[in-house]
Amino acid sequence: MTTSVPVALGDRSYDIHIGAGVLNECGERIAATVRTMPAKLPVVTDENVSRLHYAALAESLGAAGFNPEPIVLPPGEHTKSFAYLEQLLNKLLDLEIERSGLIVAFGGGVIGDLAGFAAGILKRGVAFAQIPTTLLAQVDSSVGGKTAIDSRQGKNLIGVFHQPRIVIADTDVLSTLPKRELLSGYAEVAKYGLLGDAAFFDWLERNASDALAGDKSALTHAVAHSCKMKADIVARDERENGERALLNLGHTFGHALEAHLEYENLLTHGEAVALGCVLAFRLSSMLGFCRVEEALRVERHFANMGFMTALADLGEARPAPADLIRHIRQDKKNQGGQMTFVLVEKIGKAFVTADVPEEAVIRLLSEE
Ligand SMILES: NC(=O)c1ccc[n+]([C@@H]2O[C@H](COP(=O)([O-])OP(=O)(O)OC[C@H]3O[C@@H](n4cnc5c(N)ncnc54)[C@H](O)[C@@H]3O)[C@@H](O)[C@H]2O)c1
Ligand SMILES: [Zn+2]
């Protein structure tokens, strides 16, 4: 069964199609979004995704009358760079992609961000389709139109808003994802419940383990509900002037941890976000915004799912509070060097504030 979630953005509106096996419908679904069939359909992907899933996608595209041209890049964050952007743009131009053409991004967040950015600037903007293949990409990066590459000054500093024309998320494709990547993406799923939907968080407490262990209908529900929450927030605040910032729950601490550990293999993004969510709840309870029981419940859920939930779990790599605070101050969401946090009143109700005393943050980051 396929679930379709609309993203309502006026003339840039699009649908997200989610389901087990929906990869086989990509050809017809993408064909339904184009006025004329392009001569060639570039499919940007990485080596892992290409090896495991390109044949199935190409078959569906071919059956619908497309002529797919794979562009296979190396896997990993370093592909989101000027060097690969240049290489990709040159390949797309060599293929003589027209202004009215379409580009397919087939992979995780790295491929989606890079191919989306290339589409956004090629000939001042060519349409693109997102076919996300990691849990993180299905519930987060493929939806909402943020695209970017990294530079030596930091991650995601160079990019544009460019909404996809369609998103197709096949949850069956996630069965080949390494377990750690799957769990990492789950942190973003839990985040949606924590920031805005207590009933969804209740559901996750009961069903998330099954969803990740292969229960197809539970996994599809988790992905679809996450997409719907992100779609609704993006529809209300596309350019992040307000509510969209709530999606950064767990990310202020999470990004600081990632930056401090210099993106070593010690913590994945999702693992940093899970720990960041626990810290945001603890800080909220310390400041009297939320009950301590709520913070303990969040901690228990992430621990049950297999995440680290305390800085002490980092052992010798544990950062000093001052180091984390330095990174938090550099967060690109800050204005005038003030630390901004997404805090909570309770599970399902987050808010943004810059009104947090530094000594409380130090106390939090020094806790055993
Ligand atoms: N644009 C946004 O709004 C947004 C939001 C969140 C994150 N991001 C970006 O997303 C990126 C991270 O994305 P990611 O976690 O998907 O990482 P990724 O794209 O690097 O994929 C992770 C790994 O999984 C492999 N892989 C992908 N699909 C697979 C599959 N089905 N089976 C087996 N292996 C598979 C990839 O080859 C890669 O090795 C970061 O660059 C981050 O900045 C963007
Ligand atoms: Zn994230």
Round to whole Å and give the CA distance between 71 and 42.
7
Q: 19 is written with which tokens? A: 């389901």
The response to whether residue 146 sits with its C-beta less than 6 Å from ligand 1 reads yes
How many Å lie between the centroid of ligand 2 and the Cα of residue 132?
15
Question: Catalytic residue numbers?
Answer: 124, 146, 188, 230, 240, 244, 248, 251, 255, 269
Round to whole Å and give the CA distance between 132 and 137.
5
**Partner residues linked to 98 by β-bridges:** none
- Look at residue 331 in the predicted model and tell me its pLDDT: 75
- Look at residue 154 in the predicted model and tell me its pLDDT: 86
Round to whole Å and give the CA distance between 209 and 219.
10
- Look at residue 264 in the predicted model and tell me its pLDDT: 65
Q: 127 is written with which tokens? A: 């349409």
C-alpha pair distances (Å), 116 with each of 13, 87, 119, 132, 220? 16, 14, 5, 12, 24
Query: If pLDDT is split at 50, 70 and 90, which confidence band does 284 have?
Result: very high
The response to whether residue 108 sits with its C-beta less than 6 Å from ligand 1 reads yes
Provide the pairing of β-strand 127-132 with 102-107: parallel
How many Å lie between the centroid of ligand 1 and the Cα of residue 109?
4
Residue 130's Cα: distance from chain center in Å?
13
- Look at residue 262 in the predicted model and tell me its pLDDT: 78
Q: Which ligand is nearest to the CA of 251?
A: 2
Query: Smallest Cα–Cα separation from 113: which of 159, 71, 153, 68?
Result: 159
DSSP string, 139-184: IIITSS-EEEEEETTEEEEEEEE---SEEEEEGGGGGGS-HHHHHH
Query: Smallest Cα–Cα separation from 16: which of 161, 169, 141?
Result: 169
Q: Is residue 336 over pLDDT 90?
A: no
- Look at residue 332 in the predicted model and tell me its pLDDT: 66
Mean pLDDT, the chain, integer: 96
Query: If pLDDT is split at 50, 70 and 90, which confidence band does 368 have?
Result: confident
**Atom number, ligand 1, closest to the C-alpha of residue 147:** 1
The response to whether residue 79 sits with its C-beta less than 6 Å from ligand 1 reads no
pLDDT: which is higher, 206 or 264 = 206
Residue 176's Cα: distance from chain center in Å?
18
Q: Is residue 1 over pLDDT 90?
A: no
The response to whether residue 240 sits with its C-beta less than 6 Å from ligand 1 reads no
Q: Is residue 221 over pLDDT 90?
A: yes
The response to whether residue 46 sits with its C-beta less than 6 Å from ligand 1 reads yes
How many Å lie between the centroid of ligand 2 and the Cα of residue 189?
10
Asked if residue 72 lies in contact with residue 45, where contact means CB atoms within 8 angstroms, the answer is: yes
207 SS3 class: helix
The response to whether residue 140 sits with its C-beta less than 6 Å from ligand 1 reads yes
Quick one: average pLDDT of 175-198? Answer: 98
**Atom number, ligand 1, closest to the C-alpha of residue 184:** 15
**Atom number, ligand 1, closest to the C-alpha of residue 116:** 1
Round to whole Å and give the CA distance between 202 and 225.
13
How many Å lie between the centroid of ligand 1 and the Cα of residue 107?
7
Q: What is the pLDDT of residues 286-326, one digit of tens each?
A: 999 999 999 999 999 999 999 999 999 999 999 999 999 99
- The residue nearest atom 20 of ligand 1, judged by CA position, is 76
Round to whole Å and give the CA distance between 305 and 251.
19
The response to whether residue 138 sits with its C-beta less than 6 Å from ligand 1 reads no
Quick one: average pLDDT of 50-78? Answer: 98
Asked if residue 325 lies in contact with residue 361, where contact means CB atoms within 8 angstroms, the answer is: yes
Quick one: average pLDDT of 65-75? Answer: 98
**Partner residues linked to 348 by β-bridges:** none
User: If phi over 0 gives left and psi between -120 and 50 gives alpha, with beta otherwise, what is residue 37?
Assistant: beta
**Atom number, ligand 1, closest to the C-alpha of residue 113:** 1
